[in-house]
Amino acid sequence: MSVAAGNQNRAIAVVVRELIASYLDREGFDAVAKPYHPRISDSLDHTFAPDVAGLPGVHLDVSSRLTHRLAVDLDGARRAGAINGAEVSAFVQYRSNKDISESFVILGLDHFTRLVRGDHLRPPP
């Protein structure tokens, strides 16, 4: 997904991705934010890469929009996750007036059950 789920300000999108990755890293995950590419042409190779990597079997995008578009952003995360072969696709909706830990994580019920069941951690047959 491109620039933190469509945020028009690339600088804000990059900072929010880094905040999310830092929070997850502090919580014990090997999370890494998608690197910033100053030229859009350089970022094309990473279009479908997750905004935050390092969560096995999980495609995690980040939205830093002020107006929440849950269905649009979730559909985008699911498409990119399917391309990447992730069992679970979700996105984090950053809330600018709240602590980063209070951001929403949005995923479909089907992917929620996979996450809780641990399907994303099992090797493929």
pLDDT digits 0-9 by tens, 85-111: 999 999 999 998 999 999 999 999 999
pLDDT of residue 22 exceeding 80? yes
Residue 23: phi, psi to the nearest 5?
Answer: -60, -50
Could you please state the CATH topology (level 3) that the domain comprising 3-121 is classified under. Answer: Trna Endonuclease; Chain: A, domain 1 (3.40.1350)
Q: What is the DSSP letter of 2?
A: -
CA dihedral 99, 62, 59, 22 (to 10 degrees): -40
Position 2 scores a pLDDT of 43
pLDDT tens profile 34-75: 987 766 666 666 678 899 999 999 999 999 988 889 999 999
Residues 60 and 123: their CA atoms lie apart, in Å, by: 19
The single residue listed with the structure tokens 């690339």 is: 10
Radius of gyration of the chain (CA): 14
More confident residue, 2 or 75: 75
How many CB atoms neighbour CB 56 within 10 A? Answer: 12
Residue spans of the domains in the chain: they are 3-121
Rounded to two decimals, what is the model's pTM?
0.85
61 touches 83 (CB < 8 A): no
pLDDT of residue 6 exceeding 70? no
